[in-house]
């Protein structure tokens, strides 16, 4: 399925600069787990040179400080070649934060995928006290940043972003990978065409050919599917949980407001504040009603979403071209 093309007249670099001015420093919602984490671990470790020396990096600015330290860097051998460096602490004796498991999960999965709308892994290495991943830099902000801008009131822009993320998740599902943390802050924008890029794979998981069900409350609670919140906990279909999260991202883009925990969004689709109503908005509401179905047996998979969007692609492209 060909992607919906963005209107070439739009100045994506200007949009990115506006985003960076409005959101100069991304903050992490994760708690800082060690008191000494305020000092950047980028340049040295306890036993020798750190990742900056190893990869010949120069730090430009920090991006976030939480359970992991994230910085924007450029390579010394290629000035202006910018990358994101994520430094994750190794667990000390008696600690069980799962940092090592999440590092291995993200690296192992990103090494096996190659898609225009999935973040690129450039390098990864474990040092004496830290795990380090070097990732593609997406300079145009996150979907969470962009949600309150004028651009996000356009039906065509909402449809374009939704389709691109749907293509990324469908690709993952065909490779038996579930993401488990799809949300606006994990959707970035980059490239000359301002493409949407799915990131943050440290909670993702590869499933065996005969495996569909997983357990546990993994990800961000606001974007949990209803079955994840059941008490007592029961195994659930990981692919359908991803599908629910993608539908919830679409709902959030239109409503311009994050869902509440266990909110009944399925019954709030008809009253969404579209900038204007047309046949395209009706199709998007149909998709939402089927992706956000409370019952798993009635919920659409990503392949069903893809087939539906493909059948309506000409209509959505006209909306994008018209700048609506």
Task: Express each pLDDT in 34-75 by its tens digit.
Answer: 334 444 455 544 345 677 778 888 888 888 766 677 888 887
CATH superfamily of 143-321: Transferase(Phosphotransferase) domain 1 (1.10.510.10)
Q: What are phi and psi of 110, to 5 degrees?
A: -65, -25
Full DSSP string of 306-322: HHHHHHTHHHHHHHHHT
Whether omega for the bond prior to residue 239 falls within 30 degrees of 0, making it cis, is no
Closest CA to 171 of 249, 117, 236: 117
Query: Which residues share a beta bridge with 294?
Result: none
Across the range 29-33, mean pLDDT stands at: 29
* Of the listed ranges 35-49, 246-260, 261-275, 291-305, the one predicted with least confidence: 35-49
Say whether 63 sits in a helix, a strand or coil. Answer: strand
Q: Which residue has the higher pLDDT, 80 or 210?
A: 210
Write down the H helix ranges in 256-323.
Answer: 279-291, 302-311, 313-321
* Of the listed ranges 46-55, 69-78, 222-231, 315-324, the one predicted with least confidence: 46-55
Provide the Cα torsion 144, 145, 146, 150; round to 10°.
120
The vertex-294 CA angle with 289 and 300, nearest 5°, equals 55
Across the range 166-177, mean pLDDT stands at: 98
Mean pLDDT of the chain: 82
Which pLDDT belongs to residue 150?
73
Which pLDDT belongs to residue 95?
56
Full DSSP string of 84-152: EEEEEEPPPTT----HHHHHHHHHHHHTT---TTBPPEEEEEE-SSEEEEEEE--TT-BHHHHTTSGGG
Structure tokens at 283: 């199709």
Start-end of CATH 1.10.510.10 domains in the chain: 143-321
12-17: list long-range contacts, CB under 8 Å, 24+ apart: 12/140, 12/192, 12/193, 12/194, 15/140, 15/151, 15/194, 16/139, 16/140, 16/141, 16/189, 16/194
Closest CA to 178 of 118, 243, 247: 243
Start-end of CATH 3.30.200.20 domains in the chain: 26-136
Query: Which residues share a beta bridge with 218?
Result: none
Say what angle helices 279-291 and 302-311 make with each other, to 10 degrees: 170
For 113-151, the pLDDT digits (tens) are 999 999 999 999 988 888 899 999 999 999 998 987 777
Which pLDDT belongs to residue 280?
92
Closest CA to 86 of 101, 102, 67, 71: 71
- Rg over CA atoms, the chain: 20
Cα separation, 136 vs 110, in Å, equals 11
Q: Are 12 and 193 in contact (CB under 8 A)?
A: yes
Percentage of residues of the chain with pLDDT beyond 90: 48
SS3 string of 187-238? EEEECCCCEEEECCCCCCEECCCCCCEECCCCCCHHHCCHHHHCCCCCCEEH
Which pLDDT belongs to residue 79?
66
Give the pTM. 0.83
Q: Which residue has the higher pLDDT, 278 or 14?
A: 278
Which pLDDT belongs to residue 101?
85
The domain defined by 26-136 folds into Phosphorylase Kinase; domain 1 (3.30.200)
């Amino acid at each position: 399925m060909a992607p919906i093309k963005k209107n070439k007249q739009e100045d994506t670099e200007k949009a990115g600069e506006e985003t960076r001015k409005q959101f100069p420093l991304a903050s992490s919602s994760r708690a800082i787990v060690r008191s000494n984490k305020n000092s950047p671990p980028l340049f040295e470790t306890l036993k020798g040179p750190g990742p900056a020396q190893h990869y010949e990096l120069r730090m430009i600015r920090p991006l976030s400080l939480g359970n992991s330290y994230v910085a924007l860097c450029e390579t010394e051998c290629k000035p202006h070649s910018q990358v994101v460096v994520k430094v994750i602490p190794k667990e000390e004796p008696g600690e069980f934060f799962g940092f090592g498991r999440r590092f291995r999960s993200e690296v192992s999965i990103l090494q096996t995928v190659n898609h225009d709308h999935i973040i690129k892994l450039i390098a990864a290495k474990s040092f004496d006290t830290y795990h380090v991943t070097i990732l593609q830099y997406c300079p145009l902000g996150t979907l969470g940043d962009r949600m309150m801008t004028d651009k996000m009131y356009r039906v065509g822009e909402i449809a374009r972003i939704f389709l691109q993320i749907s293509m990324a998740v469908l690709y993952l599902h065909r490779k038996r990978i579930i993401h488990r943390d799809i949300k606006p802050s994990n959707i970035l924008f980059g490239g000359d065409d301002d493409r949407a890029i799915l990131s943050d794979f440290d909670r993702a998981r590869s499933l065996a050919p005969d495996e569909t069900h997983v357990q546990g409350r993994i990800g961000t609670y606001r974007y949990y599917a209803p079955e994840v919140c059941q008490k007592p906990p029961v195994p659930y279909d990981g692919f359908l949980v991803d599908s629910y999260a993608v539908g919830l991202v679409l709902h959030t883009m239109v409503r311009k407001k994050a869902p509440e925990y266990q909110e009944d969004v399925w019954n709030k689709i008809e009253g969404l504040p579209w900038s204007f109503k047309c046949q395209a908005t009706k199709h998007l509401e149909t998709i939402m009603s089927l992706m956000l179905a409370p019952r798993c047996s009635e919920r659409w998979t990503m392949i069903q979403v893809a087939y539906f969007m493909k059948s309506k692609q000409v209509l959505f492209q006209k909306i994008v071209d018209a700048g609506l």
